[in-house]
Structure formats: C-alpha cells, structure tokens
Amino acid sequence: MSPYYQKAFAYLQQKGRETYGNFFLLYPNDTQVIGKLLAWFLRDKATADLKGINLQKGILLSGPVGSGKTSLMNLMRHFSREQAPHFMKPCRDIAFEFEKDGFEILRRYSGITYLAGAKPKIIKTFCFDDLGTEQILTHYGKECNVMAEIILSRYENFTRHHRLTHFTTNLSADEIEEIYGPRVRSRLREMCNLIAFPAETPDKRK
C-alpha cells in the first residue's frame, strides 16, 4: 500500500472512531474493498483503472449483513471532492414515505426537481442504503415497487445529466433481478461499479 493510501486508511480509521466510537476497526481482510472505495472517492484514476473501477459510474456496495457497508459509505463522504457529498437514505424509510406521501416521493428521489417556468434543477447525489430491505407498500390502494421506479428514474438522470447514484445491499445480482426485474438489474450494471465483500465476511456487529 502506498504512503498516500496508508494516510487515507489512518484518516478513515480516525473518522470511524469519531463517528461510531472507539470500537470501530478497519479489518485487514477488507483492505481490497476499502481501497476500491477510496480510489473512487479520491478520484484517483490511475488506481481506479488498476482496480477495474470506472469513475464515471456510481457504486453498488454489496456484502453480507454486518460487513460494514453502511458505515463505510457514510464515512466516504469525508473523502468526497463534491461540494455536496452524497446523502445516505435507507430504502425502508423511502417505502414508508411512499405509504404516507404517495407518488410524490418518486420525484423527490429521482434526482431532478421540476420548477414551474424554469429548467429542471439537478439535486443531490443519494446513497440508497440497504436496497432490498424495503417492502412493497400501497398508497390509497395503489401498489408500487418504489425502489424499482426510483432506480429507473435515476438511470434516466444518469444518461441525460450524468448524475451518479450509490447503493448498498445484501442482495446478489440474481436476487436483485428476482425482486426488481431484469431491466433494473441491467440499469444498475450500467450505472454502478459493483464492489463486493466476500460472502464469508463475518458479521462485525457480533
């Protein structure tokens, strides 16, 4: 590991303890996953190319329950060079918002807010956390696979405006297709770099 990345790992460890407490620890077995995330957020093209990471795409971070996906994506905001780092949003919360507010939330999270008499305004980058944990809920009897619709909308935003989206999930690619359909699986592949913890990664919450 280069001195530059050693410093980045040390800073990540520091911010992790500040955020989550002194028990926070970066595990040696996670070095490859963390290195890929750092290469993306540091916009280090040379390292990203070596690791097969496309800086023009977002991130789909997958792994078993308790592998540290949410914590890492939350901490990566400290390395973001954007003026407005990505906003973490649990998918379960979005599903409950749909039950309350209805189809308005599709526009809320699509990535574009349409203003009367004005051009569309691009809004913040989201990291949708725990894709697959939300339920398919109804609003006044109308059922909607909310995250599927949001992903398709953000794909349009990605192709037209190159607005990026990140996700964390416990699901495999086949499980994503089973829940959201082949079109969503295909769009996610085009929108995101898949960065995956090994299946045998232990639950760090234990």
Q: What are the sequence ranges of the domains in the chain?
A: 55-196
Taking a C-beta distance cutoff of 8 angstroms, is the pair 202, 35 a contact? no
Torsion of CA 83, 170, 61, 163, to 10 degrees: -50
Position 142 scores a pLDDT of 56
Position 16 scores a pLDDT of 96
- According to DSSP, the residues that pair with 138 across neighbouring strands are 143
Assigned token pair, 202: 């232990």
SS3 195: strand
Taking the domain 55-196, which CATH number applies?
3.40.50.300
Position 106 scores a pLDDT of 84
Q: Give dist(CA 45, CA 51) in Å, integer.
A: 10
Position 185 scores a pLDDT of 96
Taking a C-beta distance cutoff of 8 angstroms, is the pair 204, 72 a contact? no
The pTM of the full predicted model, rounded to 2 decimals, is: 0.89
